[in-house]
Structure 1
Amino acid sequence: MTTAEGSPRGVARVDVDGRLEHRVVRATLTLRGPDGAPLAGQPVTVRQTRHAFAFGNIGFDFVPLANDETDDAPRAAFGGASPATARTIAELWFDVFNTVTLPFYWAGFEPERGRPDTRRLHRTAQWFVDRGVAVKGHPLVWHTLAPPWLLDLDEGDVEEVVRARITREVGDFGDVIRTWDAINEVVIMPVFEKEENAITELARRLGRVQTVRLAFETARAADPGLTLLLNDFNMSAAYERLVEECLDAGIRIDALGLQSHMHQGYWGEERTLEVLDRFSRFGLPLHLTETTLVSGELMPPEIVDLNDYQVPSWPTTPEGEERQADELERHYRTLLGHPAVQAATYWGLTDDGSWLGAPSGLLRADGTPKPGYEAVRRLVREEWWLSPREVVTDGHGRMVVEGFAGEYEVDVDGTTVPVQLDLTDGRTQEVALLVG
């Protein structure tokens, strides 16, 4: 692109829907050689390497694979493909997602007191980090899947053991996990009656706000630099009140986790935006932590607890797959269009081992992509992605990059220079690059 004399001639620009302009950074890059002189008229290739937005999925499928386990290794709770399937779908996972959620359900992580599955989960987290993926742990505190051995402890001892568990996991995984769901589903926690567990009893004794304080402040004391989420499936005013009460009590919450398991049907843009607007009033980043959309028959609307719907077979269908693809695209466009949303995690890549056996994966059980996978990939890696562009710097060594916030590379005469476009510095930036 050629402009008036003295202005940048090289512009690498992503074409973006106007509703997503708040995601785009315009950066003027000035390239200088080792002597500090501007590299005028220099051919340059610019490419995007990562989104700042957290496009996430669970990594339960890959725990056995990351640990070189055999095909008969046990699957994770709440979803997870067989090791054989995991080997065939890994490339598809990494082609779309940059953030992973790993399972720290306490009953499975430490079925026998004092023998946590630290080594295995740490190897999995490191496996993702080595491949450029940010890792989140889920969750530090939750009443469901609390270890049965907690019930053998005195009431006063449970709190201390919970604190010790939080401190241990935050410390043991601090080099690979910087984000945690500090506590999960607190709205229902003190009144949960489906199964006896010590965490519900603790929440009844302390109350919701103090239980949240326990989780957040214990984790924060162990590592002040963590990002800690309050996460819930309850999108009613009850969750809003809990957030309000926690903030009024001085509890520092870094982001709000909003679950959106849509087994009973797509929320639609109107309801989704209504939820996002209600929770964005707190001024905290919103993370859509658990999203599912099915590609088969919908779960009946009268089911209150999704876990109660147990069927012998829940197949994907061609019609359902087309519906899922359409809804996925609409959902992701809605999320990216809302400035408060910082992350969106889809709950499962494949139907093999999916939560509740639902056809909610982006891949079929045999590992082949559904239209929904292709729809999400097209958005993340094509429409919202700056493919390699060749430009030429102007007489002052300048060029312009307009793209989604994230990480980029500039190739200059055989040298690659990394560039970060960061929305926290404003949507217009000046960046000086020293080449060579």
Structure 2
Amino acid sequence: MTDPYAHRRGQVTVTVLGPDGDPVAGRVVTVAQKRHAFAFGNIGFDFVRPVGGADPSEAAEVEGFGGSSGIGLDELGELWLGLFNTATLPFYWGRYEPRRGAPDVKRLTATARWFAERGVTVKGHPLVWHTVQPSWLLGLDVDEVETLLRRRIRDLVSGFAGLIDTWDAINEAVIMPVFENGENAITPLARARGRIAMVRLAFEEARAANPSATLVLNDFDLTSAYECLIEGVLEAGVQIDAIGLQTHMHQGYRGEEYMRKMLDRFARYGLPLHLTESTIVSGHLMPPEIRDLNDYQIPSWPTTEEGEARQADEIVRHYRSLVEHPAVQSINYWGITDDGAWLGAPVGLIRSDGTKKPSYDRLAELIKGEWWVPPTEMRTDENGKMVVHGFYGDYTVEDEPFAVRPGETEASVRLRDR
């Protein structure tokens, strides 16, 4: 039977050396996986307030930006870190700099460091978007807005370099010039400059600020319109590091066939695919006639026992189909808890009271079960060697690090005196 995850696995012959540098023959050692190379992510919005403190602007928090009221930081952190290795933090301009010249640097820096200190890769979202914009931009002419936008990109990417080196450079550029659901200053700029010019602005400013950054073009529009934009951007010579694909499935799981065909369409550009915003609800489904998810806002959208069972089954199917596809490099789930979730939808893996839904445990069975090497005793041969098989990632032998990576077949570790 063909292994659907063969492209995710490798094997490496590890030579175990003693403190003197000589191979250790016949030694029983413990091998353990510490981290996946694959980016299993979730938003870290819930951590901004408990780690960084209250919002100094005293303005209302955006959804998912305040932390769960039903669970403390230590418990929430343990649950989050039990599954994920990549965190997306919010840099919406209107929330990050609600008053001109007073960006929310301190809180976001503290939150990013909290994750980084725990071995988590941190991503910023987004550098350019037409929604959640500061009101002080309104009324400015497009040239001034462009100048301020360029400065914002440079300040963020250079200021957080080394701590945050992955960014959604521009979000939802397909709709940006024609967006009509609320006044903002970015849509008129996009209308005046054009989509490709906006993408170029975002990527080139960010690239100049941090040449080693990973920059993502992100969109919810998965139609040919997005493909045309990607083709135009690439033909214009703009360097894209990854294609971001949003899959908020508030109206139901779209199924493996849909996902496979969609991924194949975007994989043809030869760029890594990042599933940047994935959600599956554990309550009733949004009515199918709703075209814009933002139009469905109701007083209460509770999680249900039936919905939780469905969510658990579908999240396993969703993750399996994505990890099976060789172009997918990252999956970012959009919500750890239901408290403060986008549009009030019950998409979290943890209920508002802090208890785990079945989807959390089912996902753990994949990420930290089937796709993971737990602490395992192995014996070295007469030459001090042993062969380790597993998903690409970081491993240890008796707490000494080595890695299983594509194209690498040999590694060595040197044990310390005990």
TM (norm. structure 1) is 0.92
Report the aligned-residue RMSD.
Answer: 1.6
The corresponding residue for 2:97 is 110
The 8 Å contact of residues 71 and 353 in structure 2, kept in 1 or not, is answered as no
Superposition map of 1:182-221 within 5 A: 182-221=169-208
Distance in 2 of aligned mates of 1:109 and 1:344: 25
Q: Please tell me whether residue 170 in structure 1 is matched to residue 157 in structure 2.
A: yes
Distance in 2 of aligned mates of 1:81 and 1:244: 38
The corresponding residue for 1:140 is 127
Distance in 2 of aligned mates of 1:46 and 1:328: 29
The 8 Å contact of residues 154 and 205 in structure 2, kept in 1 or not, is answered as yes
The corresponding residue for 1:119 is 106
1:362 corresponds, among 342, 346, 349, to 349
SS at match of 1:46: strand
Q: How far has the Cα of 1:75 moved from its partner?
A: 6.6
SS at match of 1:152: coil
Amino acid at match of 2:248: H
Q: How far has the Cα of 1:17 moved from its partner?
A: 8.0
Q: Where do 5+ consecutive residues of structure 1 fail to align? A: 1-15
Distance in 1 of aligned mates of 2:95 and 2:225: 30
The 8 Å contact of residues 65 and 86 in structure 1, kept in 2 or not, is answered as no
The corresponding residue for 2:409 is 429
Q: Where do 5+ consecutive residues of structure 2 fail to align? A: none
The corresponding residue for 2:29 is 44
Q: How far has the Cα of 1:74 moved from its partner?
A: 6.8
Matched positions, count: 412
Q: How far has the Cα of 1:430 moved from its partner?
A: 1.1
Deviations 1:338-374 (A, max 9, x none): 0110110110011111111111111111111111111
Q: Please tell me whether residue 22 in structure 1 is matched to residue 7 in structure 2.
A: yes
Change (3 A) 1:317 1:368: same
The 8 Å contact of residues 68 and 340 in structure 2, kept in 1 or not, is answered as no
Superposition map of 1:66-105 within 5 A: 66-69=51-54, 76-80=61-65, 82=67, 84-87=69-72, 88-105=75-92
The corresponding residue for 1:65 is 50
Superposition map of 1:197-346 within 5 A: 197-346=184-333
Change (3 A) 1:79 1:345: same
Distance in 2 of aligned mates of 1:50 and 1:355: 29
Amino acid at match of 1:418: P
Deviations 1:200-255 (A, max 9, x none): 11111111001000000000001100000000000000001111111111100000
Distance in 2 of aligned mates of 1:155 and 1:339: 42
Distance in 2 of aligned mates of 1:363 and 1:187: 33
Distance in 2 of aligned mates of 1:144 and 1:252: 24
SS at match of 1:85: coil
The 8 Å contact of residues 90 and 124 in structure 2, kept in 1 or not, is answered as yes
Amino acid at match of 1:283: G
Change (3 A) 1:76 1:394: farther
TM (norm. structure 2) is 0.96
Q: How far has the Cα of 1:377 moved from its partner?
A: 1.0
Distance in 1 of aligned mates of 2:202 and 2:67: 33
The 8 Å contact of residues 80 and 352 in structure 1, kept in 2 or not, is answered as no
Distance in 1 of aligned mates of 2:279 and 2:257: 18
